[in-house]
Amino acid sequence: MSTAIQSKQRGTKTRSTLSALRKEGFIPSVVYGYNTESTPIAVKERDLLSNLREHGRNGVIKLEVDGKQLNVVLNDYQENALNGEIRHADFLAINMTEELEVDVTVNLVGQSIGEKEGGVLQQPNHDVKIKVKPAEIPEGFDVDISGLQIGETILVGDIRSKSKFEILNDDDYALVLVSAPRTEEELEEDNLPNAESSPELVGENQGDSDED
């Protein structure tokens, strides 16, 4: 369980107020959810980042709000596209006895047979949505790919019965596949000029001329 993060309530949402909070090292945030009214707060950025490093994106956080400790998860956040700083965070208060729906990163375990034979490993989707109690949220979802051959795909339907978690994605949700290596002919074709984009030759379609 994460150590408690202190928060302070904030009032107005003017740009100058939010900028002042960020300059002081705070992240403007909001907490809502189980037995909790939506409340605008601010948390220290260093405290949140330290917690995320220790417990991961899906870790349960103890958040102190107005003297009361809440169990929360980081439901959403906004980042600065240039420097990666967290600009805003949404905390969801949870009931530790009830299951949550969370997205968990898919970890590929092993090296596939197809990859060893020259195939190209592809991972169309990098996470799965599972239903799980907060205290049992895993850091990642492991998928063994060691038996995967060229031309084969692992879908959620292939692993659903083997998983100890309830997976909410459809059976045809693709996790990983191994495609055949490209032939030299295919690579050469990619380098050929596109005939459709070639400039029209002078004198072309002269058969349409008005001259007899």
Highest-scoring range by mean pLDDT, 10-14, 78-82, 188-192: 78-82
Give the integer Cα–Cα distance in Å for 188 and 190.
Answer: 5
Check if CATH label 2.170.120.20 holds for domain 101-191. yes
Which architecture characterizes domain 4-96 according to CATH?
Beta Barrel (2.40)
Top-confidence residue, 80 or 196 = 80
CA atoms within 13 A on the CB side of 66: 8
56 Rama sector, left if φ>0, alpha if ψ -120 to 50, beta otherwise: left
Structure tokens at 73: 């998860």
Same fold, 4-96 and 101-191: no
Give the integer Cα–Cα distance in Å for 88 and 34.
Answer: 20
Quick one: which of 124, 113, 132, 31 has its CA closest to 72? Answer: 31
The predicted model scores a pTM of 0.72
- In this predicted structure, the answer to whether residue 207 has a pLDDT above a threshold of 50 is no
Domain ranges of the chain: 4-96, 101-191
User: What's the pLDDT score for residue 14?
Assistant: 74
What SS3 class is residue 41?
strand
Residue pair 126/140 in contact (Cβ under 8 Å)? The answer is no
